[in-house]
């Protein structure tokens, strides 16, 4: 089979898996229509700190599922180093999860990301994707808690 | 030694790459080319110590780490709060499948890791 058509077949298999997964887990999702961000989903789940966490999940051509979550923050310049130290400590402790301050167009966000490989048949891919979603639910709130604690010191 | 580390060690031996192997309580650690490859039954982590950070440069390096964390998807950059502080990069991922699949995956991702670091510090 031609490699390209094989990739499309794989992508569509996992895309269907993703949508099935969101429905099964009762997670609200929206698939982006933009061609450049094909196979990108926006999902929402409850969080302690914001009304709803909004996270982008993207499935790339290598069947890697990445998530990217952000939380708007407003840190005064004199507190920025403290925040960077807190984030560094977490990045050092938990290398499977990455956090950073994202400053674009004047807005400031605490960003979180992680990539997870989907593989095998549909059921295996589902287990993988569930693990990723559980992981981000667990760690995003924990990260925010730690950052708040560090800033209170 | 776990099955994934055994397979990777045999690949490295076949490829004529010098390496050292250490056993820890949590994982097998392979040191090659100055990089640490830590492997357990379900995950692998590459770590490279990039440079020692003088105490008066830590705040500046935190900003560099933040910029690189934003720019590079897979690799994480951080300062290890040891004495002296060390600026590190690491790449963590889950392992799956047969020993051969896992070893192939490790080598492929090791290439991504080294290429990302070359790109990051070429600029």
Query: Which residue in chain B is spatially nearest to A132 when comparing CA positions?
Result: B94
Size of interface A-B (CB pairs under 8 A): 55
| pLDDT given at position A37 | 60
Q: Residue A124 and residue B37: Cα distance in Å, rounded?
A: 26
Residue B76 sits at the chain A interface (C-beta within 8 Å): yes
Residue A7 pLDDT: 47
Nearest CA distance, A61 vs chain B (angstrom): 15
Contacts of A87 in chain B (CB under 8 A): 66
pLDDT of residue A33: 66
Give mean pLDDT, residues B6-29.
Answer: 91
CATH number for B47: 3.30.1460.10
Range of the domain at B19: 3-122
Q: Kindly give the parts of chain A with pLDDT less than 50.
A: 1, 3, 7-8
B43 with A100: Cβ contact below 8 A: no
The predicted complex's ipTM stands at 0.89
- Round to whole Å and give the CA distance between B106 and B72: 18
Q: Is the dihedral of CA A124, A126, A131, A132 positive or negative?
A: positive
Whether the model pTM is above 0.90: no
**Structural domain for A100, as ranges:** 3-152
Residues 52-71 on A with a CB inside 8 Å of B are 66
Residue A94's pLDDT is 85
Chain A CB within 8 Å of residue B104 CB:
no
pLDDT for the residue B79 = 96
Domain count, chain B: 1
Task: Name chain A contacts of B76, Cβ cutoff 8 Å.
Answer: 91, 95, 98
What tens digit of pLDDT does each residue of B52-110 get? 999 999 999 999 999 999 999 889 999 998 888 999 999 998 888 889 989 998 999 99
The model's pLDDT over A3-24, given as tens digits with 9 standing for 90+, comes to: 455 544 555 556 656 677 777 7
**Lowest-confidence segment of A112-121, B9-18, B39-48, B72-81 by average pLDDT:** A112-121
Tally of domains in chain A: 1
pLDDT at B19: 92
Tell which residue, A85, A81, A83, A59, has the closest CA to residue A71.
A83
My answer on whether omega of the bond before B27 falls inside 30° of 0, hence cis, is no
Q: Does B81 touch chain A (CB under 8 A)?
A: yes
Spell out which residues of chain B touch residue A96, defining contact as CB-CB under 8 Å.
43, 92
Q: What is the CATH number of the domain that holds A26?
A: 3.30.1460.70
From the list B43, B63, B90, which residue is nearest A84 (CB)?
B63
- Rg, chain A, Cα only: 17
Supply the pLDDT for residue A96. Answer: 81
Cβ–Cβ below 8 Å for B73 and A88: no
Closest CB from B47, B59, B94 relative to A116: B94
Quote the CA–CA distance of A50 and A39 in Å, as a whole number.
26
Residue B33 Ramachandran class (φ > 0 left, ψ -120 to 50 alpha, else beta): left
Q: Is the dihedral of CA A11, A16, A19, A23 positive or negative?
A: negative
The pLDDT of residue A117 is: 78
Q: What span, in angstroms and rounded, lies between the C-alpha atoms of A93 and B81?
A: 11
- Kindly report the backbone phi and psi dihedral angles of residue B94, in degrees, each rounded to the nearest multiple of 5, phi listed first: -80, 150
């Amino acid at each position: 089979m031609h490699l390209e058509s094989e990739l499309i077949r794989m992508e569509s298999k996992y895309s269907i898996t993703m949508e099935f997964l969101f429905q099964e887990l009762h997670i609200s999702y929206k698939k982006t229509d933009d061609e450049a961000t094909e196979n990108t989903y926006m999902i929402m789940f409850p969080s302690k700190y914001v009304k709803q966490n909004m996270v982008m999940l993207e499935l790339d051509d290598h069947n890697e599922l990445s998530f990217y979550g952000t939380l708007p923050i407003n840190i005064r310049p004199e507190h920025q180093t403290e925040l960077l130290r807190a984030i560094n400590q977490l990045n050092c402790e938990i290398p499977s999860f990455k956090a950073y301050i994202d400053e674009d167009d004047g807005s400031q966000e605490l960003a979180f990301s992680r990539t997870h490989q989907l593989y095998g048949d549909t059921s295996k891919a589902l287990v993988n994707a569930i693990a990723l979603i559980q992981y981000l639910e667990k760690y995003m709130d924990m990260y925010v808690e730690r950052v708040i604690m560090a800033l209170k010191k | 030694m776990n099955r994934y580390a055994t397979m990777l060690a045999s690949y490295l031996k076949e490829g004529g790459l010098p390496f050292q192997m250490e056993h820890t309580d949590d994982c097998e650690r392979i040191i090659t080319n100055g990089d640490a490859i830590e492997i357990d039954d379900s995950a692998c982590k590459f770590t490279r110590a990039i440079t020692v950070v003088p105490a008066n440069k830590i705040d500046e390096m935190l900003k560099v780490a933040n910029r690189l964390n934003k720019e590079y998807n897979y690799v994480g950059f951080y300062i290890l709060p040891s004495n002296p502080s060390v600026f590190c990069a690491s790449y963590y991922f889950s392992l799956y499948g047969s020993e051969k699949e896992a070893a192939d995956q490790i080598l492929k991702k090791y290439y991504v890791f080294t290429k990302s670091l070359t790109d990051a510090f070429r600029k």
